[in-house]
Structure 1
Amino acid sequence: MSQLFFLTIYYGFAQYLPNSYCAFRPLGMASNWIRVYCVKRIFKKCGHIRTINRKVHFASGRNIEIGDESGIGANTSIPGNTIIGNHVILSRNCFILDKNHIFERTDIPLNDQGCYPPKQTVIEDDCWIGMNTLMTPGRHISKGTIIGMGSILTKDFPPYSVVGGNPAKLIKSRK
C-alpha cells in the first residue's frame, strides 16, 4: 500500500488513539501498535520503534529516519529531514525546528522575506530529550546527551553531555 494511504490513516485516525501508557493498558498497547505500523510504512528508514504516542506530527515523514528501540512522546513535532538514532527518548511536547524566517531587510515586510532553506537535525544514539524541549534548526545532538525539560537548544554539545536551560547550557558531562 502507498505512503499516502498510511499518512491518511495516521493523521485521520491513529494519531487520536489513546497514549501507550493509558489507564487501560491493552488499549494503549493496541493504539501504539497501530501508530507504529503506520509510521513504518511512512518513514524513509524505521527500526523497531518502542512507542509513538498521540498527536506526533511529522509532516509527510518521507525523509525521517529512526533507529531501534526509540520512542516519541505525545504532541511532539518532527520535521521531515530528521535523523533519530537507536535508544532515543523524545519526551512529550518536543519541537524540532528545521527552518527560520529571513529577517535581515527592514525595507521588506517580515512576511514577504521568506524562510531560510531547511536544516537537518540529527539525534545520535542513546539520547534523552526532556519534555517541552525546543531545538533550533540544524542541531546535532551527540551520543548519550541528556537535555533537561523545558530547554531551548541553540547550539551543539559534546557526547555524553547533560544540558538544560534557556538557552541550554552544559550542566555536566556523563563521562
Structure 2
Amino acid sequence: MLASFAVGQSSRDSVFQSFMQFLSLAPGKIGSYQRNAFAHWVIKHWHWNSYIGFGALFSHTDTAIGEGVYIGPQCNIGKCSIGKDTLLGSGVHILSGKNQHDFARSDVPIRDQGGVFEKISIGHNCWIGNGAIVMASVGKGSIVAAGSVVVNDVPSGVIVGGNPAKVIKTIKEAPHATHNE
C-alpha cells in the first residue's frame, strides 16, 4: 500500500514538474499569473499574492507558498514551505533536504541507492540572496547571504553566509516592528 502511494505521488510530481517547466518559459507578469494560477489549482497551500519569476522550476506538489512571497528568476524549488513576505533572489535553489541521495555502497550506482526527500521550512519575512543553496530550514526574519550554502538549520533573526553558512550577525528587531505569522 505504501509503495503504491509513493508511486502515485511520484507520478503526480512528474506531471506537476512538466507543467511548471512549460509555464516557467512565459515571460513577465502574465507568465507569473499563469504559474500562480496553475500552482494554486494544484497545490493545497499556495497564496495568490505571490510572484514566481521567469524560469523558476518546482519539483514537488508538497510545497506551500505564503502571502507576498517573491520567487526570483531561475530558482529551483524542491519540497518546502515558504513563509509570507519572504524574498528569494535569482537562482536560489531550495533542495528537498540534504539526504536526497544515499551513497554508502560503492557497488551500486548512486542513482539506484535511493534517498529521502525532506520538507524544508523557510520562515516568514526572510531574504534568501541570489545563488544561495538551501538544504535545511531557515528561521523567521533571517537573511541568507548571496551564494551561501545552508546545510544546517538557521535560527530566527540572524544573518548567515558562507559555505557552509554560519551566523554572521544577529538582527535586532526595531521596537515598532510587528511581524504576524
TM-score with structure 2 length normalisation?
0.77
% same residue: 27
* 3-state secondary structure, aligned to 1:75: coil
1:17 aligns with 2:26: yes
Separation in 2 of the partners of 1:11 and 1:74? 13
The equivalent residue for 1:24 is none
Question: Gapped runs of 5+ residues in structure 2?
Answer: 1-12, 173-181
TM-score with structure 1 length normalisation?
0.80
Aligned positions of 1:78-157 closer than 5 A: 78-79=77-78, 81-98=79-96, 99-106=99-106, 108-111=107-110, 114-136=113-135, 139-157=136-154
Q: Which amino acid aligns with 1:42?
A: V
Deviation, 1:44, is 2.2
Q: CA RMSD in A?
A: 2.3
Question: Gapped runs of 5+ residues in structure 1?
Answer: 19-27
Separation in 1 of the partners of 2:120 and 2:167? 19
Q: Which amino acid aligns with 1:39?
A: A
Count residues in correspondence: 158
How far does the alpha carbon of each residue in 1:87-125 deviate from its partner, in whole angstroms, 9 at most, with x for none? 01111111122243222234x244365132111100111
Separation in 2 of the partners of 1:40 and 1:112? 32
The equivalent residue for 2:161 is 164
* 3-state secondary structure, aligned to 2:35: helix
Q: Return closer, same or farther for 1:92/1:109 CA change in 2, 3 Å cut-off.
A: same
The equivalent residue for 1:22 is none
How far does the alpha carbon of each residue in 1:2-47 deviate from its partner, in whole angstroms, 9 at most, with x for none? x9998765433x31122xxxxxxxxx22232222222211222111
